[in-house]
């Protein structure tokens, strides 16, 4: 049994962390900057984000390496620094965890590449697998406990990422999450039930949903995934509500109390690894921790309504958004 599996079995559920990108923006990252570069140029700022989540109660923190594949780093002319930037990201998180002394785990984040595999795009399976192999190997060398493959939308890219994870970090457990955006489907048309079947086929250590358009989409996809999960742990790491325009900028409308109620509902559904994604803060995670531990009751809110009913059009893959989440530089 891996440390990850043992920790989850002992606790019943584990609290993940929240957004990295918006926290780095609050510390001075600007649009167009490469966040992975901060792992070597401003490691103390990255460590501060991890520290804040650990103080809020996170049992697992994700590294600042979401865009660390050679494809995404190439957008910044950094594709020759995959090993350096990913290893540094894992090492920063490892030092923060050790300083906190809580026994938290480090999950090496690998985000989607922004590329398409043949026949939909120019990349071969071997190219994609090689890119993820290099990233996973660097994350393992820096001290990651888990390879965390997140915000994917296509099954073929998941298969390549998992193959790369197992080639580059063969001793580490592998977790996969997809983003469910429209009518309970990913951008490429995948449903929660299909992800559950894939998790069985690939023998993943855990799987689930992160990011997504809204809480209703995420909870709908999770319900499907949980129904087909077998014995595999399920992840819920949704955005802090929906981005809305306020005071000249975009903010997320999901308060800490709303996200804590969501966390409670997803645990009742059967999720065992629970955190938050875009727009969330350490305050969100602290509130989620308090509710999940029974220190506070959840806000009495109705569950969000179901997503729109599928249509033939909704079932078709959508054109990929190359730089996900608007800024194109980070995952949150």
Q: What is the DSSP string of 34-80?
A: -GGGHHHHSHHHHHHHHHHHHHHT-SEEE-S-TT-SHHHHHTTT-GG
Q: What is the pLDDT of residue 58?
A: 98
Pairing assessment for the beta strands 206-211 and 105-111 based on DSSP bridges: unpaired
> Looking at per-residue confidence, does 329 or 214 come out higher?
214
> In the chain, where does DSSP find H-type helix?
3-11, 21-26, 38-41, 43-56, 70-74, 82-100, 125-142, 155-168, 192-202, 215-227, 256-269, 282-292
In this predicted model, what pLDDT tens digit does every residue of 270-313 receive, in sequence order? 999 999 999 999 999 999 999 999 999 998 877 666 555 554 44
In 10 A of CB 182, how many CB atoms? 17
In this predicted model, what pLDDT tens digit does every residue of 312-330 receive, in sequence order? 444 444 444 433 333 334 4
Whole-number percent of the chain with pLDDT over 90 = 81
Least Cα distance to 153 among 202, 213, 205, 65 occurs for: 213
In this predicted model, what pLDDT tens digit does every residue of 65-119 receive, in sequence order? 999 999 999 999 999 999 999 999 999 999 999 999 999 999 999 999 999 999 9
Has residue 135 got a pLDDT over 90? yes
Q: What is the pLDDT of residue 313?
A: 45
Instruction: Render 74-105 in DSSP notation, one character per residue.
Output: HTTT-GGGHHHHHHHHHHHHHHHHHHHTS--E
Q: What is the pLDDT of residue 244?
A: 80
Please name the residues in contact with 18: beta carbons below 8 A apart, sequence gap of 6 or more.
Answer: 53, 58, 240, 275, 276, 277, 280, 281, 282, 284, 285, 332
Q: What is the pTM of this model?
A: 0.91
Contact 181, 146 (CB under 8 A): no
Average pLDDT of the chain?
Answer: 91
């Amino acid at each position: 049994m891996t440390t990850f599996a043992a920790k989850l079995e002992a606790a019943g559920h584990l609290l993940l962390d929240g957004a990295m990108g918006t926290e780095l923006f609050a510390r001075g990252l600007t649009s167009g900057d490469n966040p992975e570069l901060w792992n070597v140029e401003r490691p103390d700022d990255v460590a501060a984000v991890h520290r804040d989540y650990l103080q809020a109660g996170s049992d697992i923190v994700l590294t600042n390496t979401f865009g660390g594949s050679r494809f995404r780093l190439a957008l910044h002319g950094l594709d020759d620094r995959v090993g350096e930037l990913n290893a540094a990201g894992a090492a920063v998180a490892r030092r923060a965890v050790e300083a906190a002394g809580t026994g938290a785990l480090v999950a090496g984040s690998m985000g989607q590449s922004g590329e398409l595999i043949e026949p939909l795009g120019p990349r071969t399976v071997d190219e994609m697998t090689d890119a993820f192999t290099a990233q996973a190997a660097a994350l393992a060398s820096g001290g990651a406990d888990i390879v965390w493959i997140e915000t994917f939308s296509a099954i073929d890219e998941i298969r390549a990422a998992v193959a790369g994870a197992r080639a580059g970090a063969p001793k580490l457990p592998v977790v996969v999450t997809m983003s469910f955006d429209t009518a309970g489907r990913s951008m490429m048309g995948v449903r929660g039930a299909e992800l559950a079947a894939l998790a069985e086929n690939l023998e993943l250590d855990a799987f689930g949903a992160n990011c997504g358009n809204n809480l209703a989409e995420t909870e709908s996809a999770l319900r499907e995934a949980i129904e087909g999960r077998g014995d595999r742990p399920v992840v819920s790491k949704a955005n802090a509500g929906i981005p809305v325009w306020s005071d000249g900028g975009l903010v997320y409308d999901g308060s800490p109390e709303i996200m804590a109620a969501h966390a409670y509902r997803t645990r009742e559904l059967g999720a065992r690894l629970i955190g938050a994604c875009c727009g969330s803060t350490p305050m969100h995670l602290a509130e989620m921790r308090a509710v999940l531990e029974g220190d506070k009751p959840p806000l009495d809110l109705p569950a969000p309504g179901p997503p729109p009913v599928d249509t033939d059009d909704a079932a078709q893959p959508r054109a990929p958004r190359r730089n996900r989440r608007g800024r194109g530089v980070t995952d949150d």
